[in-house]
Amino acid sequence: MKNAYLTVRSAILWAISGMHFAVVGTILILLGAIVDPRKNDWPQRAFFRNILRIAGARFEVRCAAGFDPTRTSIFICNHVNLFDPFVIYSAIPQFLRGFELESHFKVPVYGWMMGRFGNIPVPDAPSREGLEIMTQRAKAALDSGVSLVAFAEGSRTRDGHVQPFKKGIFNLAQRFGIPIVPVSLVGSYQFFRTGHWLLHPEKITVYLHDAIDTTQIARAEVDALRQRVQDIVSAPVEESLKENPVQKS
């Protein structure tokens, strides 16, 4: 009976969410073509937050005392599902953009939108030249006051646990002395699992942890920094999985 309810509920929510995304998303794309995205931030946030509401997710943000919402930073968080950008953009109270595979920028309409809105292309096949171009674009964004968000795992979790973080984004933060803010997306896996389609009536809690100053971190300490951030991000996620385990289907 419960599965039947979830199936019907999910079908309805996906249909409503899809219609909302198509209509409002089109309006925002057209608006973005004529208005600087930095002056068009509020409508985007309202749209992203409404996507979560319509999909049936309850939502909460918890900010640590050491988090400064006015300071340009690199936010590093766990990667759970396709709703992550909507969750992050609804939770972080400052203008921010993310990293996107370079091939995505070649997709009609979507690619133009990503470029217009200021996302940073990441080479599909890493090369010294490509990575340097990406690094300089990231530096230009940070210098202009745009915070960046990165999914350091590189792919979405399939079991809810936080996978090992890749080192690249930490090298960038250390190189430019940009503070890192660890971000934990808790409850997202219980709400929607990648590879499945059911939307569960769960609560998503976003933890914005204390910022980590990188100005005094040496290059030889980057790997320790990576592990430190991974441990911070993982802690509330793992605790949530213990308290609210997801049944395999």
Give the pLDDT of residue 206.
98
Distance set, CA 197 to CA 8, 49, 211, 234 (Å): 11, 20, 35, 25
**Per-domain residue ranges of the chain:** 57-243
SS3 for 106? helix
Q: Considering the entire predicted model, what is its pTM?
A: 0.93
Answer whether 161's CB lies under 8 Å from 84's CB. Answer: no
Cα distance between residue 24 and residue 214, in whole Å: 39
Q: Would you give per-residue pLDDT tens digits along the chain (249 residues)? A: 778 999 999 999 999 999 998 888 888 878 878 888 778 888 888 999 999 999 999 999 999 999 999 999 999 999 999 999 999 999 999 999 998 888 888 887 777 777 878 888 888 777 788 788 889 999 999 999 999 999 999 899 999 999 999 999 999 999 999 999 999 999 999 999 999 999 999 999 999 999 999 999 999 999 999 999 999 999 999 999 998 887 665
Give the pLDDT of residue 114.
79
Distance set, CA 98 to CA 32, 80, 101 (Å): 17, 15, 10
DSSP 188-209: HHHH--TT-------EEEEEE-
CA 25 to chain centre: 18
CA-wise closest residue to 192 among 52, 39, 94, 36: 52
User: Look-up: residue for tokens 């300071």?
Assistant: 71
Give the pLDDT of residue 247.
67
Give the pLDDT of residue 104.
83
